[in-house]
Amino acid sequence: MAIVEVRELYKSFSRGKESIEVLMDLNLDVSQGEFVALMGPSGSGKTTLLNLIAGLDSPTSGSIIVGDQEISSMSESELARWRTRNVGFVFQFYNLLPVLRAFENVELPLLLLPMSTKERRTQVENALELVGLADRSRHRPGQLSGGQCQRVGIARAIVTDPTIVVADEPTGALDSKSADDALNLLELLRSELSKTIIMVTHDPHAAQRAQRIVKLEKGRIANGGAPSASAPYMPNVIVG
C-alpha cells in the first residue's frame, strides 16, 4: 500500500512574465517503509518534488496524499500542523539552531505537541540514543563535528515519529566516513523502525543504499515511479 501517492502533479514558478514548468504530470507512489532515492540533474525538479511531498510548498495542480491525508489543498497553518506530526526533515547543512544544545534542538518539534515534560525528555533521549549521541546531548552545534551534527539532525527528524522522513542531500556536506554513518542510520530507520524515507541525492553511492531510485528529468519521472515490491513493513518502536 502506498503511503505517498502523487498524482498528475504540476508545479510552475513565475519569473517575471515567464512561467517555468518545474514538474509536469508527475505520478509517484512510495510504499510504507520504503527507502526511495530521488536523483536527476540540477533543475530536474527533485528538490521541488521533495518540498511538495513534505508540505513545504503547494503544487500548481495535481494531488499529493500522504498517509490518508490530501495535503495539496491544505492552508499554510494546516500544513505547519501536519508537518509537526507527519514529516521529519533532514537537511544537507543540518540546519541546527546554533544557540541551542543538541538535546534542545531535537526537542524543538516536540514543543508543538501536547505531551508532558517527562514524555518529551524520554523521546529526545531515545532519539539521541538511536543516533549514538546520548553523551553529546549538552553540546551545542559548534562543539560537534559535521557528522555528529547530521546525526542530531536525523534525531530531530525522527523524534516525533513522523509518517515520512525526507532528506535533501543528507550526505552532501559530509566526508565519506560521516556520509556512510548517516546513510547507515537512514537504513537503520527503515529496517528497524519501518520509516518511509525519501532522499534527494546527487551521489550514486548514496542512492545505491536506497531500495529504489527514481530518476527525474526535466520535471518528469524518467524511471522508477512505481513502488518496489520488497518494501518491508516494520512496526514503529521509537514511540510507545
Could you list the residues that contact another protein (CB under 8 A)? 47-48, 51, 54, 56-57, 76-77, 80-81, 83-85, 87, 89, 91-93, 95, 97-100, 108-109, 111-112, 116-117, 120, 156, 168-169
Pick the closer one to another protein by CB: 117 or 230.
Answer: 117
Tell which residue, 235, 112, 132, 123, has the closest CA to residue 182: 132
Measured in whole angstroms, how far is the alpha carbon of residue 187 from the centre of its chain? 13
Nearer to another protein, 68 or 76 (CB): 76
Residue placing its CB nearer to another protein in the complex, 80 or 237: 80
Q: How far is the CB of 113 from another protein (least distance, A)?
A: 9
Min dist. Cβ of residue 56 to another protein (A): 4
Classified as helix, coil or strand, 197 is: strand
Q: Please say which residue, 173 or 234, places its beta carbon nearer to another protein.
A: 173
Compute the least distance from the CB of residue 233 to another protein, in Å: 26
Dihedral angle sign, alpha carbons of residues 126, 80, 144, 131: positive
**Angstrom distances, CA of residue 47 to CA of 44, 82, 106, 121, 168:** 8, 20, 24, 33, 7
Closer residue to another protein in complex, CB, 153/224: 153
Task: List Cα–Cα distances, 115 to 83, 120, 121, 239, in angstroms.
Answer: 17, 6, 10, 12
CB of 129 to another protein, least distance (A): 19
Distance CA 122, CA 124 (A): 6
Q: How far is the CB of 237 from another protein (least distance, A)?
A: 22
